[in-house]
Structure 1
């Protein structure tokens, strides 16, 4: 089994790579080679594994060399994030749309040589939005029509359709998974409009100030890193019949308000952590995040035995257990211990 992860040095790519290496197999076949492609170099432990090959540099520029050998499974995680795409339209088109189409074309050339890759595309809840002609329902289900209201969401939706059509033509065995906002992400803040949904937990637990740009009653749909990786793997390993067609699948979501997130932070980190979060509203972020749906009914995901996280307090504790070196809050470390 030869597997490619684009965005392999990113947070989700790194976690997916470690999970695959630990499992040692995918789709019932032994993992022989794992290729990690990204702008930067992956973590040292990944580079040290004999099964890992590292390809650094611009993905679009290196595709010919990267795809010189065939792959059994491609996880396409690399993307410019929501805030970046709104700020730089050309960047979003190149990083999200042009690169995805070029990668699909490379897989099409591979298929012409007799080897059809399973292509797993990481889409986003940002494909949904409220349109005056088609308002969002209170609960988004698997039949809800996407009407994205951001460049990032539109680019992801276009790519979903490309994956579906390349699958229809037999060029790839494609399946797109719509990821919820992943919280709590470790590391430094990125340019995503949803980045504060990790920052208001991650920074206070490290003894740092955090700013929340939306009102406390704002509802959001979240998934922990573990739940997200489980979803990507389930989508990759599902049969075409179990996946349920070519349309993108909504992964399960935990619906919480920002206030409930802060209550969970207080339950884990106490007054010390909670006092480090202040509200400073940002109309731009409010508009983007407020346009995303917060409640989902994901029957197709349930068919794959995927379930949402139970509560946000456990999500916070998951972060502390996974990244104790990034946490200075002693109460949180004691509770997670």
Structure 2
């Protein structure tokens, strides 16, 4: 089986690659080839598996025709992870449209051109496709009313993937991701980046900034469960998704106050004191527009699994941090 990954050098991409190389199989078939697409792809060349041909391609998918050669090789599964994150897409409309929407449409048209109707395309979307005045608890049938350019770009891609799948041009499936935490590394341009930072940095002995009210609630999921969902999304039948090829993954609802209480519980008062509260209206406006409560019946029916509780998310991060030291 040949798997292609866009955004391969990103946080999720690297975790997905490691999981696939470790498994060596996808949908009951041996994984024989892995094509990794990213402007930073050469940094991934250290990844290897004797039974799998791993090729890194230094490509910007926003460039016209960038994916033609790779699609011409007829991959069996495409994980489309490349994207400009929320705050960056809000700050630069042209950049967000070019990477998040135009490049996705070019990918779909490439699949159409090379007649990849049997290729399974898995795209990551976001809770940001929802917003505005909403019911207290949402489900997969709630209308998409994004309140950010990032959410709008993702929503447009979702509709295209469902339509191309309806036409039999691709076999698409879209996973709406909760906020992923606790991410490793450093804070980035994502509006939700603080959610990881206010635990990750204090638990590591550093200060962190909390830019939002502690009453704010978020819908969250651990990195490990997201990667498992990506793999499962490629294995479940596309027909089982129904008319809409999109599904909201089963996250947890947690307030910032509960996040900070988890920090105190695991790191003590000293760790909690490392969090500085500096309100940022722009960040809070974006994140507060994302709903925090969902019924995820469709995801559960399709076999997707979430975290049991928030403590599990924190303890998973602590185990990973200890293993990396």
Q: Does the alignment reach a TM-score above 0.5? A: yes
Contact 2:78 2:122 in 1 (8 A): yes
Aligned pairs for 1:22-37 (under 5 A) are 22-37=22-37
- Once residues 86 and 47 of structure 1 are traced to their aligned partners in structure 2, the CA distance between those partners, rounded to angstroms, is 37
- Once residues 64 and 267 of structure 1 are traced to their aligned partners in structure 2, the CA distance between those partners, rounded to angstroms, is 51
Q: Does 1:72 align with 2:76?
A: yes
> CA 1:154 to 1:20, structure 2 compared with 1: closer, same or farther past 3 Å?
same
- When the two structures are aligned, how many residues end up with a matched partner? 321
| CA displacement at 1:321 relative to structure 2 | 1.4
Aligned pairs for 1:231-242 (under 5 A) are 231-242=229-240
- Once residues 143 and 90 of structure 1 are traced to their aligned partners in structure 2, the CA distance between those partners, rounded to angstroms, is 30
**TM-score scaled to structure 2, two decimals?**
0.94
3-state SS, counterpart of residue 120 of structure 1: strand
Match of 1:295 in 2: 293
| CA displacement at 1:123 relative to structure 2 | 0.6
Q: Does 1:89 align with 2:93?
A: yes
3-state SS, counterpart of residue 116 of structure 1: coil
> CA 1:205 to 1:325, structure 2 compared with 1: closer, same or farther past 3 Å?
farther
Contact 1:167 1:246 in 2 (8 A): no
| CA displacement at 1:275 relative to structure 2 | 1.3
| CA displacement at 1:225 relative to structure 2 | 0.5
3-state SS, counterpart of residue 47 of structure 2: helix
Match of 2:118 in 1: 116
- The gaps in structure 1 that reach 5 residues or longer are 328-337
Aligned pairs for 1:54-73 (under 5 A) are 54-61=56-63, 62-73=66-77
- Once residues 309 and 45 of structure 1 are traced to their aligned partners in structure 2, the CA distance between those partners, rounded to angstroms, is 31
Aligned pairs for 1:1-337 (under 5 A) are 1-41=1-41, 42-43=43-44, 45-46=46-47, 50-61=52-63, 62-111=66-115, 116-130=118-132, 135-324=133-322
Contact 1:47 1:53 in 2 (8 A): no
**TM-score scaled to structure 1, two decimals?**
0.91
| CA displacement at 1:246 relative to structure 2 | 2.8
- Once residues 44 and 56 of structure 1 are traced to their aligned partners in structure 2, the CA distance between those partners, rounded to angstroms, is 11
- Once residues 263 and 4 of structure 2 are traced to their aligned partners in structure 1, the CA distance between those partners, rounded to angstroms, is 36
3-state SS, counterpart of residue 203 of structure 1: helix
- Once residues 287 and 38 of structure 1 are traced to their aligned partners in structure 2, the CA distance between those partners, rounded to angstroms, is 31
> CA 1:118 to 1:259, structure 2 compared with 1: closer, same or farther past 3 Å?
same
> CA 1:44 to 1:202, structure 2 compared with 1: closer, same or farther past 3 Å?
farther
